[in-house]
Amino acid sequence: MALTSSMISPISVFVLLLSVALVFASATTGESMYGYDPNHIPEDKSAEPEAQEKLLSTTLGIQGIIYCRSGSKLTPLEGAVARIICLANDENGYERAPFSILSDASDDKGYFFATLSPDEVQQNWRLKECRAFLEVSPSDTCNVPTDMNQGISGALLTVYRPLTDKNIKLFSVGPFCFTSDSNSVSNGY
């Protein structure tokens, strides 16, 4: 018996309707990982504490020593200040304008310390890099910055020591130097 066009038509329609019914059935069961589930509530990952901790979960500590160089002699410079400048990306990955903090004035041994806490960084920003620079000398005779250890061009904060008991990542830079000799100034490049 040969198939006629009148017999193919009902079979084709049946196969087509069966296919459509299967597609709708699989899309609405909620069990298929490809289907639409009207009862599905998406997870809010922004509220998870882990997501917030990945941005800046600990305080950054930056320490160093600032000297006054006179000839070959280095003397600790009390009252000098360093600047920390950081670049960050926002939650969408766009680079934001740099922001900076100042260290406390150095002590009588030339030691300075600065902290950058999670509260000081905009919410959802990720730090890209931070650099430490010489900022200001309190001395009238020793106030010309030098680029020793990138004091002018910026010492990149790369390696840190974790202080787990204080929840701090401690970076060390320098030592940095000011001098009275204006000929020693480098443009940092």
Annotated domain spans of the chain: 1-41, 58-184
User: Residue holding tokens 């919410």?
Assistant: 123
* pLDDT band with cut points at 50, 70 and 90 for residue 41: low
Residue 135, amino acid = E
At 73 the pLDDT is: 93
Burial 61-76 (b: 16+ CB within 10 A, else e): bbbbbbbbbeeeeeeb
Does the pLDDT value for residue 35 go beyond 80? no
Residue 120: both structure tokens together:
């000081």
Question: For the whole model, what pTM was predicted?
Answer: 0.65
Task: Report the half-sphere exposure of 124 (CA within 13 A, side-chain side).
Answer: 9
Q: What is the mean pLDDT of residues 36-48?
A: 51
Q: Decide: 56 and 127 in contact? Cβ < 8 Å.
A: yes
The CA distances from residue 81 to 98, 109, 144, in Å, are 19, 13, 13
Q: Which fold has domain 58-184?
A: Immunoglobulin-like (2.60.40)
Q: In a 3-state reduction of DSSP, which class is residue 186? A: coil
Nearest alpha-carbon partner for 84 in 155, 182, 138, 4: 155
Nearest alpha-carbon partner for 113 in 167, 178, 60: 60
At 114 the pLDDT is: 94
At 24 the pLDDT is: 54
List beta partners, residue 87: 129
Per-residue pLDDT tens over the stretch 119-141: 766 666 777 889 999 999 999 99
At 53 the pLDDT is: 36
179 or 19, which is more confident: 179
* pLDDT band with cut points at 50, 70 and 90 for residue 27: low
Q: Decide: 163 and 61 in contact? Cβ < 8 Å.
A: yes
* Cβ-proximal residues to 69 (8 Å cutoff; 6+ apart), any chain: 142, 146, 148, 177, 178, 179
